[in-house]
Structure 1
Amino acid sequence: MVNPTLRFRPLRPAVASDGVTDLDLLVTIACDDLPPEQQARPRPPLNLALVIDRSGSMSGRKLSYARKAARFLAGELTARDRLAIVSFDDKVRVVVPSTPVTDPKPFIAAIDMIHSGGSTALFDGWLAGALQVADHLDPSQLNRVLLLSDGQANAGLTDHQEIATKVAGLTARGISTSAFGLGDGFDEDLMGAMASAGDGTLAFIESPSQLADLYASELQGLASTVGNRVSIGVRAKNGARLLDVLNDLTTTQFGNYQLPNLRAGQELNVGLRLHLPAWQPNQEIASVRLAWDAPGNGGRQKQIAHLTLPVVASADLAGLEVDDGVVEQLALLEANRARRRAIEELDRGNLQAAHLCLNAASALFAAMPDSAVARRELQLLDEKKALLQEDRNLTRKRLSRESLRSSTRVWEESDEQE
């Protein structure tokens, strides 16, 4: 079993003894690569439901590629895995009930019979898929619904918050949801809310040809998952106050924060801002508690880390060097917030204000030392500023995808090239 490690990375490596300190820091959660003996083992069994929108807007190339990608998925699974195929327009059809994939041919034949129809009962389709997974729920397996839609929920339950609440309820039972939006007509707010509540992957697919890569990435991600239903709790101590969690994470019912799945060989960064009065040496500033479910292990895992820092005079603190890597990661989190503010201005019809929000984010990276991350982020922001005048809908979708990187597992096509 791969256990994550917790590391505190303060912007400056000390706090003040004779005045207040506003302490910015990262909590980095790192998972080592799987050891060779585990890499050689079969991945955990999968219990999946593929839910495909077959509404009228999916006709033609979109549905053709969706079928092709579904055939790929069926061909990659084994007899240890279960797969259900569900399609929906205004009505829901269980094309193939949850069945072990001893032979992909019956699945492929059924997939080929999916044709476009009418409206979009998105929630009903998702629910039918979730119930297929629930009927064979096994804590030792990875249990997930893969939802693909190109449209808006316009039949059945359509309220975003109610749908997200239903998704979160299934997540608490161990059934996660990945949401894949296709084209330029899908509801990015709803798909983002479902992926976040569902502890799964969010993908915005601009071309149907990307679907096969997406499904390959999803299977690889499931194979490398070492922790799901991940949460982090932050408790300030001795008069310190937690001012902000820069990732804008969803709060759990216990007052902790929901994180994306833990994957072998990857890191998660959580940005914190704390306010400290004059501090005493060796005094604990905060504790962080990480909790997760390890596939196949059966029990809730946890790890606790305690933060203390050296204490110096305020005048000396101001002269300490900052950690450039922390500056960079905190700037990414602030830039994602700026994107969300830009979306709010776009929704008000204020393009100038949206542009100013993106300019503010660009200024963060323009002032930083040159790095691959800073160059990439400046490029992304410049692209959105140029696109703003031409296609507000596409701009909003791309801003939404990028803004959610702080809190949700977001698929990008570049992930396949790493």
Structure 2
Amino acid sequence: MGSKWRKMKLALGLNLCTYLPRTLEEPPAVCLNSAERLSDVALLSPANWPMTPTPSSYGLRLSRSSSKSSKTCSICLTKMREGEGHAIFTAECSHSFHFQCIASNVKHGNHVCPVCRAKWKEIPMQHPMLDLSYLSERHHNDAAMNLARSLPPPRRVMSRGHGPQIQASEPATFNDDERLDQQPMIAGKSSSNNDALDNNHPVRMVDMKVYPEVSAVPRAKSFEKFDVLVHLKAAAMVTGQAVSQNNQVSQYPRASVDLVTVLDISGSMAGTKLALLKRAMGFVIQNLGSNDRLSVIAFSSTARRLFPLTRMSDTGRQQALQAVNSLVANGGTNIAEGLRKGAKVMEDRRHKNPVSSIILLSDGRDTYTMNQPDPNYKLLLPLSVHSKRFQIPVHSFGFGSDHDASLMHSVSEFSGGTFSFIESEAVIQDALAQCIGGLLSVAVQELRLEIDVVWPDVRLGSIKAGSYSSLINGDGRSGSIDVGDLYAEEERDFLVSINIPAEKAGIDTPLLALRCVYKDPLSKETATLESDVLKIQRPEKVGEEVVSIEVDKQRNRFLAAEAMAKARTLAERGDLTTAISVLEDSRRVLSETVAAKSRDRFCVALDTELKEMQERMMSRHVYEASGRAYILSGLSSHSWQRATARGDSIDGSILVQSYQTPLMAEMLRRSQAMFLGSPSNHRLIQPLLSLASQPQPKPR
């Protein structure tokens, strides 16, 4: 089913690329089977797609008659009713909108109907400083449009009790974030859920298990590199069913989120890319809780904040949807400025939710900052984002074949976030949904694993922790790993290597004592979990001892990640042949391990992933188009042990599922159901599934 679903989305994504919005003055484009093209607004909300399939194709047709008769505002997606205090604007093309919504839409340069793309002579204006109606007759004139876009955009702020208002320009300090609710623990739509804390919130938030390489070592034998696996798992958010009957993930106790999305709206995003990005942001906005706060930064040649950190109440959602839908693609790509402004929103805020994160989405390369041959990507991030005192993870999403995967991976790596590669733009929403599912389920914060040696002659040799910061004290008697946040039911595995001395007598040797210290994001209290002392049996003789599958599996993960990193370095130098050989050698070594011979699913998936990387290095063109991004997304996932989007799918890989939490999977299912559940799409599902079942060329 997963494979068919990926093919169906790919087929749909390729189809959408042929239906781009156009203005009336543009000549009709040649479309497949003469189907009409979709508007940005239609793509933003699948639930409002009034589409019917043509008899001769799988294309999607926008029904103008049904759009005109709709009583739903196509911008904020809410019902329009007279007499409820909302002015309604009816355009000359007969489409109607809330006046507030359409005024917000046209102020950013949109002078055509969002539904039918008809050019308007009369444009609703809400602010005298931005009366650009004199440009409507010169809409085709590039110079005039550039002048319009160069004006400072108005800024929306929240006024308590009076809804969104307009200001002329951005403030010097972004300390205008909306005040938090008095009861921020519950991020759902109602504060009545506070009673659930006492009943549903687990007391023990982390489970810890320790696996020695083997259970017994001969008394007279010593080991220089004896591996011990430490396995951590965060508790579930609630006991029982995680999702309520009204299908709201945010209805149970969880930590609220401050989220800043940094969106690329450069010229290369025009058309379907921007439309799909708007639809994905619509999904994010609808799934944030009333105590979660969102701010959106849009960047092209410069960057601007669309609105301050705002609670996603009903009013906040409407404001956010209006702002996102008003975006227009134009200009160059200044990722550094977008990140700087996104970090400033976090730095200047007066109030803070327990969880903070930045999401970066781009399809291009920074054309303003990173032009030197050997760029220092760390310069893209303000110090506050990657400092220990104020670290804000940046989860970056690069899509298409032209994005700078090295830049985006580095940005995420420095900040403690993940990098996802979206090969097919049709799955942008799914990739964001999976990420949001994690951010909305943080169960543990500031987790730190502390390791102490018990036996006098035992010393710590090394700690394999991937991208997590680890430390071994000078005497080798203690060490630590800074793990940070864990999502609900998320797991972490670390390999600790020690020496085991020979013994003259004794039944067992005590090795390590482990301790977890973490903060509960709901209660703000610090908790400590201590394990039993790990002991190894020391008999006179030991029969044939098989290495622990769990330990061997994690060894294979680190070996594969090392091979990926080495192959990537060789490929960047132009030596693709040697890079492929490194991956092939790694596959051969892994195939001889205990875990692989037992047909462990994770090890089988590792081999499949390494093989895929070999194929994406078959030529320089293929590597530049997708190989580099595929490898970097894999490295990001393995080093942080967190699910990322890879290639043209995010739901079919065993490796992705290995790191995917139940609530990430639930949010992904919701994203897919949002498409499949659209009433107008039911008639399209079977033809698309039939198309998906046919062999498809693999995109490169």
TM-score by length of 1: 0.88
Residue 4 of structure 1 deviates from its aligned partner by 0.8
Instruction: Work out whether residues 409 and 418 of structure 2, in 8 Å CA contact, stay in contact via their aligned partners in 1.
Output: no
User: In 1, distance between residues paired with 2:264 and 2:406?
Assistant: 17
Q: Please say which of residues 352-361 and 191-200 is displaced more in the overlay.
A: 191-200
Residue 335 of structure 1 deviates from its aligned partner by 0.8
Change (3 A) 1:314 1:197: farther
User: What do the CA deviations read for 1:132-177 (whole angstroms, capped 9, x no partner)?
Assistant: 2344465553222111122333424762234457264466336332
Match of 2:428 among 199, 202, 211: 211
Residue 205 of structure 1 deviates from its aligned partner by 1.4
Aligned to 1:173: 390
The amino acid across from 1:292 in the alignment is Y
TM-score by length of 2: 0.55
Within the alignment, does 1:364 sit opposite 2:589 as a pair?
Answer: yes
User: In 2, distance between residues paired with 1:93 and 1:20?
Assistant: 62
Aligned to 1:377: 606
Residue 248 of structure 1 deviates from its aligned partner by 2.9
Aligned to 1:267: 491
Change (3 A) 1:188 1:297: farther
The amino acid across from 1:45 in the alignment is S
The amino acid across from 1:338 in the alignment is A
Aligned to 2:636: 404
Change (3 A) 1:95 1:139: closer
Aligned to 1:232: 449
Instruction: Work out whether residues 342 and 354 of structure 1, in 8 Å CA contact, stay in contact via their aligned partners in 2.
Output: yes
Aligned to 1:324: 549
Q: Please say which of residues 75-84 and 133-142 is displaced more in the overlay.
A: 133-142
User: In 1, distance between residues paired with 2:467 and 2:513?
Assistant: 18
The amino acid across from 2:555 in the alignment is L
Within the alignment, does 1:25 sit opposite 2:228 as a pair?
Answer: yes
Within the alignment, does 1:192 sit opposite 2:405 as a pair?
Answer: no
Residue 218 of structure 1 deviates from its aligned partner by 2.2
Residue 389 of structure 1 deviates from its aligned partner by 0.8
Within the alignment, does 1:386 sit opposite 2:615 as a pair?
Answer: yes
Match of 2:469 among 228, 244, 251: 251
The amino acid across from 1:10 in the alignment is P
Aligned to 1:305: 531
Aligned to 2:286: 75
Aligned to 1:293: 519
User: In 1, distance between residues paired with 2:291 and 2:426?
Assistant: 28
User: In 2, distance between residues paired with 1:207 and 1:52?
Assistant: 17
Q: Please say which of residues 353-362 and 129-138 is displaced more in the overlay.
A: 129-138
User: How large is the Cα RMSD of the aligned pairs?
Assistant: 2.9
User: What do the CA deviations read for 1:65-88 (whole angstroms, capped 9, x no partner)?
Assistant: 112211221222243221111111
User: What do the CA deviations read for 1:52-105 (whole angstroms, capped 9, x no partner)?
Assistant: 012233333322211221122122224322111111123111112211222222
Match of 1:345 among 570, 581, 591: 570
User: In 1, distance between residues paired with 2:510 and 2:350?
Assistant: 42
Change (3 A) 1:274 1:410: same
User: What do the CA deviations read for 1:110-145 (whole angstroms, capped 9, x no partner)?
Assistant: 112222233332232123123223444655532221
User: In 2, distance between residues paired with 1:167 and 1:315?
Assistant: 56
Instruction: Work out whether residues 7 and 29 of structure 1, in 8 Å CA contact, stay in contact via their aligned partners in 2.
Output: yes
Change (3 A) 1:89 1:389: same
The amino acid across from 1:98 in the alignment is L
5+ residue gaps, structure 2, are 1-201, 243-250, 473-478, 652-656, 658-664, 670-700
Change (3 A) 1:47 1:19: same
Q: Secondary structure at the match of 1:365?
A: helix
User: In 2, distance between residues paired with 1:176 and 1:304?
Assistant: 28
Aligned to 1:110: 323
The amino acid across from 1:190 in the alignment is L
User: In 2, distance between residues paired with 1:70 and 1:294?
Assistant: 29
The amino acid across from 1:244 in the alignment is S
Instruction: Work out whether residues 15 and 23 of structure 1, in 8 Å CA contact, stay in contact via their aligned partners in 2.
Output: no
User: In 1, distance between residues paired with 2:576 and 2:443?
Assistant: 42
Q: Which has the higher strand share?
A: 1
Q: Secondary structure at the match of 1:75?
A: helix
| Pairs aligned (count) | 417
Residue 358 of structure 1 deviates from its aligned partner by 0.8
User: What do the CA deviations read for 1:251-304 (whole angstroms, capped 9, x no partner)?
Assistant: 269984343631222321112222333256655423434333332232444434
Change (3 A) 1:242 1:355: farther
User: In 2, distance between residues paired with 1:400 and 1:165?
Assistant: 22
Instruction: Work out whether residues 167 and 198 of structure 1, in 8 Å CA contact, stay in contact via their aligned partners in 2.
Output: no
Residue 339 of structure 1 deviates from its aligned partner by 0.8
Instruction: Work out whether residues 184 and 206 of structure 1, in 8 Å CA contact, stay in contact via their aligned partners in 2.
Output: yes
Give runs of ≥4 in structure 1 deviating > 6 Å. 252-255
Residue 370 of structure 1 deviates from its aligned partner by 1.6
Instruction: Work out whether residues 257 and 353 of structure 2, in 8 Å CA contact, stay in contact via their aligned partners in 1.
Output: no
Match of 1:86 among 292, 297, 303: 297
User: In 1, distance between residues paired with 2:459 and 2:292?
Assistant: 47
5+ residue gaps, structure 1, are none
Change (3 A) 1:214 1:150: same
Residue 249 of structure 1 deviates from its aligned partner by 2.7
Q: Secondary structure at the match of 1:240?
A: coil
User: In 1, distance between residues paired with 2:283 and 2:451?
Assistant: 42
User: In 1, distance between residues paired with 2:256 and 2:379?
Assistant: 31
User: What do the CA deviations read for 1:188-237 (whole angstroms, capped 9, x no partner)?
Assistant: 33323333343334322112221211222222212221123433344445
User: In 1, distance between residues paired with 2:274 and 2:387?
Assistant: 28
Change (3 A) 1:302 1:162: farther
Match of 2:309 among 66, 84, 98: 98
Change (3 A) 1:171 1:212: farther
Match of 1:8 among 205, 210, 216: 210
User: What do the CA deviations read for 1:11-41 (whole angstroms, capped 9, x no partner)?
Assistant: 2113453232121221100123233379462
User: In 1, distance between residues paired with 2:308 and 2:366?
Assistant: 24
Aligned to 2:501: 277
Aligned to 1:45: 256
Instruction: Work out whether residues 235 and 443 of structure 2, in 8 Å CA contact, stay in contact via their aligned partners in 1.
Output: no
The amino acid across from 2:629 in the alignment is K
Aligned to 1:335: 560
Instruction: Work out whether residues 14 and 309 of structure 1, in 8 Å CA contact, stay in contact via their aligned partners in 2.
Output: no
Instruction: Work out whether residues 205 and 234 of structure 2, in 8 Å CA contact, stay in contact via their aligned partners in 1.
Output: yes
